[in-house]
A and B are shown apart, each in its own frame.
Chain A
Amino acid sequence: MKLKKMLGIILTAALCGGMLAACGDSSSTGTANTGDSSSAEKPASTGTDLIRVGIINNDPNESGYRTANVNDLKATFTEANGYEAQFSYSLKNEEQIQAAQKFIQDEVDYLLLSAADTAGWDSVLQDAKTAGVKVILFDRTIDASEDLYEASIVSDMAKEGQTAVDWLKAQNLSDYKIIHLQGVMGSAAQKGRSGALTDTAAAEGWEIVSEQTAEWNAEKAQQIVQTAIDSNKEFNVIYAENDDMAKGAVAALDKANISHGVGKDVIVMGFDCNKWALEELKAGNWNYDGQCNPFQSSYITEIIKKLEAGEKLDQKTIIMDEKGFDAATITQEDVDKYGI
């Protein structure tokens, strides 16, 4: 009996160990790479003057947007471009803060940060300042004093929404009957993209036939649009706040034999510019896709160059250019270049 118990305990421990190892494998390949690359790069960096950057980002598995973002940064901050980069990925604020402390101890020149949470960064950024590490925020802002960082590069979600709504307005439909599929309520993307539509609809007298949150989820969007069709609601625009939801909506339209796309009954609008979404756009099945720019590295390198040259930055908050694609004018080049 005792033996059995012991065996049980040992096996549990082994299993847990195995689990941890497996988890480590799947989620932190980035960190593993980091270890290799930093140790490999160290001897090289002693001779030349590479700029040392520590990059703290969210988990690349989070979304297609994040994957594109991470790949963009990895492609830019290479030794060939004059950088020695270390990466750390986590969706948890505490782990990100620990990584930041480690980077500060490693005496990086720049700390690039996309924070998981807006709060809790004051003290570690203060440490960075004392140690002379320059901090650049990208993609997400934090609740901390502006003195603690050099610059912040963000997407303006409200502007993304406004661009899309302006495009819709320019279509000059005789009447607007819109199904509005919202993202997770309260997220920055949802607020910005919903806000633009709600304001313009009120000003222009557009009718919002149905307004529901599908929580970025294709199946939920499909159900919501299906319900709208079942209740014989008339609509001619689907304004989905991301590509997945637009895809779900289109599945419901196909089922009910409602035509959609360029020159058809229903206008389909999405956001994020996934590659497959842009292909739908090019095929004329959708009408519009708004970009949420994940390619921030060019902005970051520009700032670093300015700071290295001792120049002052004009402004702390830098808003990225974001495009909106129209099915009528999109080219294969756009699909390849901007698809994520």
Chain B
Amino acid sequence: MTAKATGKQNSFLSGLLHNQLLIPIAALLLLTIFNLIADPSFFRISLGYNSDGNPVLSGYLISIIDYGSELAILAIGMTLVTAASGGQDISVGAGIAIAGSVLLRVLCGTESRPETLQAPVFVAFIVCCIVAMIFGAFNGALVAFFKIQPMVATLILFTAGRSIAAWINNNELPIVSEKSFTYFGGYLPGIPIPTPFFIALLCFVITWAVLKFTNLGLYVQAVGINEKTSRLNGLNPELIKFAVYILLGLCVAVCGLIKVSRLSTINYSVIAKDIEMDAILAVALGGNALSGGKFNMGASILGAYVIQFLTTTLYKFDVQSDALSAYKAVVVILLVVLSAPVFREKITGLFRRLRAGKAAA
């Protein structure tokens, strides 16, 4: 082996080890291989028809991209919030309950079981976005202007949100009977791929475009890395923090639409329960520092799908109900430890020493 080759391999290896995408991809690969060995039919996709006669694809992979969509959309907002403010928003689950409740309120008016929609879905969605963004702005204001720890600031809505959601609809659970409303969480007629996936895809493209063609990404990272220097460089850190919370509000509204559409109704106390923890986990899995600063959006999104992959795998293997969370915890611990920068440095160091030892020998 020539010295040149060794050097190249070394840089490739360390490059790979330092790439943020490594962890979610490795996790995905691990899960894929595990499923491939345990039961190759995991990857089978078949075409069928649902009870409305629409063609639908079904299979585990389809389920994963379907149910993982909300989480992936939330992960976008959560990544920005994490990067800019160095903390997480734990009120997104309650926020989805509020957004969903507003949506139902506008669609159904004061009746709990209207025959026809009281307002077009588009209008309801706009109202729902505005409300979700106001709640996002509330969180953002507490964090940016009053310098409250993000987790503490969002604890307020985390506690009160579901009660507010119940209160918006007078504690009734309206059910939307309109068929076209189910398209957002189900299937568009004639298209066999679940709509949530398309909605998520649209969100990814918009996010990609925004990060590519505006300086938002740069500003967010600058604020996250060092607030003071970013101010000296002419940025307004408060405004940027405030803005990312509003953006997260928008993501919450989109998730609310999908969730409500899935079943045409919601239950305020359990809808999107614990989704905030999964969203934070997606960000962590993506190798993003939870203390803020640099971020990799793609890694977070991939992380979200990894979590859904894991959930579906656990359901598939009929893990005992009371042990389900324990299994999940074990996998999470492994993944988080693997993605910790300290651990990765150690591993890189170990490789380097091994290589040095070999070269010396």
Q: Do A and B bind each other?
A: yes
A contacts, CB < 8 Å to B: 8, 11-12, 15, 19, 22-23, 26-27, 59-64, 67, 182, 185-186, 210-213, 215-219, 222-224, 226-227, 229-232, 244, 247-248, 251, 253-257, 259, 274, 276
Known: A217-B273, A276-B173, A276-B175. 7 other contacts (CB 8 A): A26-B163, A185-B322, A219-B271, A223-B311, A227-B312, A230-B58, A257-B51
Which one of B186, B267, B321 lies within 8 Å of A255 (CB-CB)? B186
Prevailing SS type, chain A contact patch: helix
CB distance from B1 to the nearest CB of A (A): 48
Residues of A within 8 A of B113 (CB): 276
Q: Which residue of B lies closest to A260 (CB)?
A: B51
Residues of B within 8 A of A23 (CB): 160, 163
CB distance from B319 to the nearest CB of A (A): 8
CB distance from B278 to the nearest CB of A (A): 12
CB distance from A61 to the nearest CB of B (A): 4
Prevailing SS type, chain B contact patch: mixed
Interface positions, chain B 246-297, Cβ under 8 Å from A, are 259, 262-263, 265, 267-273
A213/B270 in contact, CB under 8 A: no
Q: Which residue of B lies closest to A251 (CB)?
A: B263
Interface positions, chain B 173-197, Cβ under 8 Å from A, are 173, 175, 186-187
Cα-based distance from A226 to B149 in the complex (angstroms): 40
B259/A219 in contact, CB under 8 A: yes
Cα-based distance from A23 to B146 in the complex (angstroms): 20
Contact status of A62 and B318, CB under 8 A, knowing A222-B263, A223-B312: no
Which one of B51, B156, B186, B269 lies within 8 Å of A63 (CB-CB)? B269
Which of A217, A219, A244: most chain B Cβ within 10 A? A219
B273/A218 in contact, CB under 8 A: no
Q: Which residue of B lies closest to A63 (CB)?
A: B269
Which one of A8, A231, A251 lies within 8 Å of B316 (CB-CB)? A231
B171/A67 in contact, CB under 8 A: yes
Cα-based distance from A232 to B44 in the complex (angstroms): 11
B321/A219 in contact, CB under 8 A: no
Contact status of A61 and B166, CB under 8 A, knowing A218-B267, A251-B262: yes
Q: Which residue of B lies closest to A61 (CB)?
A: B166
A247/B63 in contact, CB under 8 A: no
Residues of B within 8 A of A12 (CB): 146
A8/B186 in contact, CB under 8 A: no
Cα-based distance from A230 to B267 in the complex (angstroms): 26
Q: Which residue of B lies closest to A259 (CB)?
A: B51
Q: Is B198 an interface residue (CB 8 A)?
A: no
Contact status of A230 and B60, CB under 8 A, knowing A182-B321, A244-B270, A257-B50: yes
Residues of A within 8 A of B145 (CB): 8
A-B pairs, 3 with minimum CB distance:
A213-B321, A227-B315, A61-B166
B contacts, CB < 8 Å to A: 41, 48-52, 56, 58-60, 63, 67, 113, 142, 145-146, 156, 160, 162-164, 166-167, 171, 173, 175, 186-187, 259, 262-263, 265, 267-273, 311-312, 315-316, 318, 320-322, 324
A8/B311 in contact, CB under 8 A: no
Which of A19, A223, A230, A256: most chain B Cβ within 10 A? A230
Which one of B146, B164, B166, B321 lies within 8 Å of A8 (CB-CB)? B146
A222/B262 in contact, CB under 8 A: yes
Q: Which residue of B lies closest to A26 (CB)?
A: B167
CB distance from B242 to the nearest CB of A (A): 14
Residues of A within 8 A of B187 (CB): 255
Residues of A within 8 A of B156 (CB): 19
A213/B322 in contact, CB under 8 A: yes
CB distance from B44 to the nearest CB of A (A): 9
Cα-based distance from A8 to B141 in the complex (angstroms): 11
Residues of B within 8 A of A257 (CB): 48-51
B171/A60 in contact, CB under 8 A: yes
CB distance from A272 to the nearest CB of B (A): 11
Q: Which residue of B lies closest to A243 (CB)?
A: B267
Show 27 A/B contacts (Cβ-Cβ < 8 Å), sorted by A: A8-B146, A12-B146, A23-B163, A26-B164, A61-B163, A63-B269, A186-B322, A211-B321, A213-B321, A213-B322, A213-B324, A215-B270, A217-B267, A218-B263, A218-B270, A222-B262, A223-B311, A226-B67, A227-B63, A227-B316, A229-B58, A230-B59, A231-B316, A253-B51, A255-B58, A257-B50, A274-B173
Cα-based distance from A217 to B275 in the complex (angstroms): 13
Q: Which residue of A lies closest to B175 (CB)?
A: A276
CB distance from B150 to the nearest CB of A (A): 16
B171/A256 in contact, CB under 8 A: no
Q: Which residue of A lies closest to B185 (CB)?
A: A251
B171/A185 in contact, CB under 8 A: no
Residues of A within 8 A of B263 (CB): 218-219, 222, 247-248, 251
A27/B163 in contact, CB under 8 A: yes
Cα-based distance from A251 to B186 in the complex (angstroms): 10
A254/B51 in contact, CB under 8 A: yes
Residues of A within 8 A of B160 (CB): 19, 22-23, 26-27
CB distance from B120 to the nearest CB of A (A): 24
Residues of A within 8 A of B262 (CB): 219, 222, 251
Q: Which residue of A lies closest to B52 (CB)?
A: A254
Cα-based distance from A64 to B56 in the complex (angstroms): 34
A61/B321 in contact, CB under 8 A: no
Which one of B52, B146, B265, B324 lies within 8 Å of A212 (CB-CB)? B324
B273/A215 in contact, CB under 8 A: yes
Cα-based distance from A307 to B248 in the complex (angstroms): 58
Which one of B49, B167, B315 lies within 8 Å of A224 (CB-CB)? B315
CB distance from A44 to the nearest CB of B (A): 30
CB distance from A205 to the nearest CB of B (A): 19
Cα-based distance from A255 to B196 in the complex (angstroms): 14
Q: Which residue of B lies closest to A210 (CB)?
A: B318
Cα-based distance from A61 to B271 in the complex (angstroms): 14
Residues of A within 8 A of B49 (CB): 257
Q: Which residue of A lies closest to B60 (CB)?
A: A230
Residues of B within 8 A of A62 (CB): 269
Residues of A within 8 A of B63 (CB): 223, 226-227, 230
